[in-house]
Amino acid sequence: KAGVTQTPRYLIKTRGQQVTLSCSPISGHRSVSWYQQTPGQGLQFLFEYFSETQRNKGNFPGRFSGRQFSNSRSEMNVSTLELGDSALYLCASSLPGYANTGELFFGEGSRLTVL
Amino acid sequence: GNSVTQMEGPVTLSEEAFLTINCTYTATGYPSLFWYVQYPGEGLQLLLKATKADDKGSNKGFEATYRKETTSFHLEKGSVQVSDSAVYFCALFPYTGTASKLTFGTGTRLQVTL
């Protein structure tokens, strides 16, 4: 079956702009998580959505937001971009709730460069 | 809180050498432990896992044993290949039934040369 799909794969923005990233999970997976990966900070958890509700949130400023749609697709948005937001943003899907064993299925990521 | 500590990289080995990447963890209760791998230009993928003490996870020639007494989950492979060059992440998951919030280590880059 198809894997996790993230779009766009690469994008370049300037400071102050905003960006929206999209993630389509594996069919049947209802939980979507987002991670930020940078050389300096490694992998940092942004948030997790299940059934259109944010269930977990990491320690990121309010400029970072997300949502999930009824078909489990998810988007994340970063407003007022800063240079430090340059990163690889990874989306992962998983089975929800009681079936969740910690096994995440990752997309290839969206690489954001902020100039 | 939960945390994972991995050995610093990069680790550079010749093909067919023995690999060990150390991983220790801090957690309450009985977490599940994972190794994820990230090949160049790709997202992470699960390499192996262990869900309880003394379990051994294995895949593609890699092994790791869940040692509760030493809170460790070291990754080993007897003979590495150039194709194993990647970044390896150790991770823990508190227990089943919770939200998808893995705690990752910082990652260890492995470079295998001919």
Which pLDDT value is given to residue A97? Answer: 56
Cβ contact, residue pair A102, B99, below 8 Å: no
Paired strand residues for A88? A37, A111
Using a 10 angstrom Cβ sphere, with 0-12 exposed, 13-18 middle and 19 or more buried, the burial of residue B55 is middle
The predicted pLDDT at position B96 comes to 54
Question: What pLDDT shows up at residue B72?
Answer: 97
Which pLDDT band, with edges at 50, 70 and 90, does B70 fall under?
Answer: very high
The yes-or-no verdict on residue B107 having pLDDT over 60 is yes
pLDDT of residue A96: 66
Nearest to A106 among B43, B93, B101 (CB): B43
Rounded-to-integer distance, Cα B55 and Cα B84, Å: 23
Distance (Å) of CA B55 to CA A89, B49, B51, B72: 32, 9, 7, 12
Q: How many residues does chain B have?
A: 114
Average pLDDT over residues A33-37: 94
Q: Length of chain A in residues, anyone?
A: 115
Nearest Cα of chain A lies from the Cα of B89 at a distance, in angstroms, of 9
Distance from CA of B71 to the nearest CA of A (A): 18
Per residue in A98-108, pLDDT (tens digit) is 556 778 899 99
Chain A residues in contact with B93 (beta carbon < 8 A):
101-102
pLDDT of residue B101: 76
Looking at the complex, does the CB of residue B85 fall below 8 Å from at least one CB of chain A?
A: no
Q: Do B100 and A33 touch (CB under 8 A)?
A: yes
Place B73 in a pLDDT band, splitting at 50, 70 and 90: very high
Token reading at A48 = 């997790």
Span A59-92, pLDDT tens digits? 999 999 999 999 999 999 999 999 999 999 999 9
Distance CA B6, CA B38 (A): 15
pLDDT at B80 over 90: yes
Distance CA B45, CA A92 (A): 10
Shortest CA gap A30–chain B (Å): 11
